[in-house]
Structure 1
């Protein structure tokens, strides 16, 4: 009980000391890992499969935390430190790498150039949130044609428990550690509007309360530098629900539609919405009856602690290109298992994951490709879905351990077969290749809310040979209160 009271007090002090309430929480690997750890330990119940997340929902979950071990309190403290780090009113971010990685990137690797310097300003209140992030880049890994951008910036307002967000934020849909088949963050963020619930509490009426805590995220934006069809639009919807404390279910759908030379009528959008977009006639597969490229599918996470008294979870995702019989067809798959425990009061998490972006297990050049949107399901040539792109297979084993308040180590080993259809629309991996890699990160906390991250990797590619590299990243608060002045 005393731990719960101290946590509620810490949440209040965090919000009050920052000068504004944190509304939107962007992709953050350490935070996601800590929240998943607490989920599997039975300390909290929260969905971590839809990013960006709502700060209201995180604080709601933490306020109901049931702590019984020192290791659990250590992870709760880590979550609070992550929220505080994202809540500084002003900070400078610096990143430098010796080289570009030759293997699929991990969740929340937000730096898209070899050298990045950023100034970030945050402001907000109970019903609004704003972030201005100005990035200066050198030697881009994903070339957008600009040395300076505002990726990661947004303006958000809350009304009737709904957040409306305008900006350019990374998005991630699904339970996977290393990738999402339908909406990942390997490409640069897409400009657009996002709507989602703030507090994800269950319906109060008995007719709908069985759904449990639920969330939706709706997105509409425009792709940048999409040469095949300039001004192509990207529209998406994700729904999640937790009908049982140990089970989360999700459904996702993405649509590429509109743009130069494409049908832009209300009928075209309605046909896409109801799934009537496979019409072909003597003129070909074009027009209002075939106006879009669509992906859709389902995912689930099951916590086995309920039966095995072991913090172990199973998760999976399947996504289909096109539609048949009202359901996604031409399917790709992802599955994994993760485990969260502690060793001598040091919290750790382990996982293993498999992903397959081929078409029903076969290389056909269909995944993330389309006969009209011929640049595929990519932006700047980098996948909007899984980081390896279409027609790939990937196996990974990874995890992290928090040694003490000031040091965390995370890493993964992976083997990937990428671009087996050898399509040049995948600029992340423009050739058929097999890649093996070891990726390690040491986070040393200058202060609990100021991580200094050192990342190192070695890889072997059939096409590019052996490779190794290092990177360093740090966020430094600028507001005097952050340093105790």
Structure 2
């Protein structure tokens, strides 16, 4: 009965095969990630959600192979399919307004960088290509880049032999953390560049490599915008994930700031940066021999559902600044636990997470800084890694519950210590501070493809006192079906 329900749901949503519908990318979205993680924890699907953006094809294939055992699981499947379908509508308008800028670390998938925003999104795709043009008009900028109009979220992509080649300005996120990634997050504005990644995460067919399990890679090369310390600085990133067992995912990540005005931009210099042997020069007078600023590390997630029948998982991330003895040194840490279940047929997820962007647990004014790239691992003053920026620590409790097909609530409670080294390049948190925050978002779907989001937050800061605010945002499709 359940499998029959699944079949008719997919047909009703207009999906027959991945090639007839699943084209392009799914950009960072908190509700979608929560739904996919919930299904992973329940053992319904197997898909990596630690490397964003996701390929639509990978999501649809995971849904087609789903092992559905009850109506609650089916409800979450339908939520994922509705989201994917909505992202393929050709013409959408996004409206957003908030009373005050939020004084809290930005959450995953938050693409709003101003108090007021109007966006127009056009999307089209074919069997082996996809393109999206998003034009955003902003007012009262939170991340100031001297532009009231931008095309953040726009891309053009082609698929060749299961590889997406993507050019544009889209957000990236690497890691299992709910509230941040130590190495590549989406708290800053997206970086212009080119991305390569697999369309389908399937395992190798050959027996010599099939043990690796489903795997994904992402390679990125782009240029930082308005990076004043070294104009035209390049950002290069490489990530590889694998699931050798259905309950275990492992990831390796590395990023390099390299080149720029006044620096060597030669291939030999790039090769030195990739090799890493000339990084981590302590003498600032030897800058000519230090080709780059680098971070690298590992992350993983272990799902215990297979052994305990309890949908709980543990995850973690360790990232090192620079190199010592051939390995990353001066480490940052993130660890968490999450649980996915249901109550009265309402799916929910809970998590607890700890993040530490100090250097080996100490405030040393080292994390996300560099003696050449003096604007640090930031763009427009906002971190390219964890939204805390350097020398911070955060404890968070959060969750998500879907009451019915039209209403869901997510939120988090945080205690954070930010910018403990009082670093001026951290524009996200200019002051050394400690604060407590409650952040809630209610999403009401006026229609399955028309989400209305109302958020509210309360912050108690040692430096700035108490603060609170609300925001409202809505996405409206303007295709012909809206008027039918």
Report the Cα distance in structure 2 between the residues aligned to 1:59 and 1:282, rounded to whole angstroms.
Answer: 52
Helix, strand or coil: the match of 1:286? helix
Matches within 5 A, 1:268-347: 268-278=269-279, 280=281, 284-287=285-288, 289-347=289-347
Task: Decide whether the 8 Å contact of 2:23 with 2:128 is kept in 1.
Answer: no
Normalising by structure 2, we get a TM-score of: 0.97
Q: Does 1:402 align with 2:407?
A: no
**Is it true that 1:194 corresponds to 2:210 in the alignment?**
no
Say whether 1:223 aligns with 2:224: yes
Aligned residue in 2 for 1:161: 162
Identify the residue that residue 448 of structure 1 maps to in structure 2: 448
Deviation of 1:5 after TM superposition, in Å, equals 2.4
1:389/1:428 contact within 8 Å kept: yes
- 2:287 alignment partner, SS class: coil
Shift of 1:3: 3.3
Cα deviations by residue, 1:39-91 (Å, 9 ceiling, x for unpaired): 00000000000000100100110000011111100100110111122111001
Contact 1:332-1:359 at 8 Å conserved across structures: yes
SS of 2:158 mapped into structure 1: strand
In the alignment, structure 1 residue 34 sits paired with structure 2 residue 35: yes
SS for the counterpart of 1:285 is helix
Query: What is the TM-score of this pair, normalised by structure 1?
Result: 0.97
C-alpha contact (below 8 Å) 1:21/1:124 kept by paired residues: no
**Residue number in structure 1 paired with 2:89:** 88
Contact 1:20 1:124 (C-alpha < 8 Å) held by counterparts: no
SS at match of 1:315: strand
Distance in 2 (CA, whole Å) between partners of 1:7 and 1:377 is: 45
After superposition, the C-alpha distances for 1:86-108 in whole angstroms (9 at most, x for unaligned) are: 11100110000000011111101
Matches of 2:305 and 2:125, distance apart in 1? 38
Question: Match for residue 174 of structure 2?
Answer: 173
SS in 2 for 1:201: coil
SS in structure 1 opposite 2:15? Answer: helix
Alignment CA distance shift 1:80-1:283 (3 Å): closer
Shift of 1:448: 1.6
In the alignment, structure 1 residue 206 sits paired with structure 2 residue 207: yes
Q: How much has 1:180 moved relative to structure 2?
A: 0.2
* Paired position in structure 2 for 1:123: 124
Q: Is the 8 A contact 2:273 2:279 kept in 1?
A: no
Instruction: Indicate the residue corresponding to 2:413 in structure 1.
Output: 413
Mapping 1:245-284, distance limit 5 Å: 245-278=246-279, 280=281, 284=285
For residues 385 and 173 of structure 2, the distance between their equivalents in structure 1, rounded to whole angstroms, comes to 9
> Which is worse superposed, 456-465 or 277-286?
277-286
Give the corresponding residue for 2:15: 13
1:53 paired residue number: 54
The answer to whether the 8 Å contact 2:409/2:440 transfers is yes
Q: Which secondary structure does the structure 2 equivalent of 1:316 belong to?
A: strand
Instruction: Tell me, in whole angstroms, the C-alpha distance in 2 between the residues paired with 1:282 and 1:396.
Output: 38
Distance in 1 (CA, whole Å) between partners of 2:357 and 2:411 is 23
Q: Report SS of the residue matched to 1:13.
A: coil
Aligned pair count reads: 482
Structure 1 pair 35–290 and aligned structure 2 pair: CA distance change class (3 A) = same
Matches within 5 A, 1:399-478: 399-478=399-478
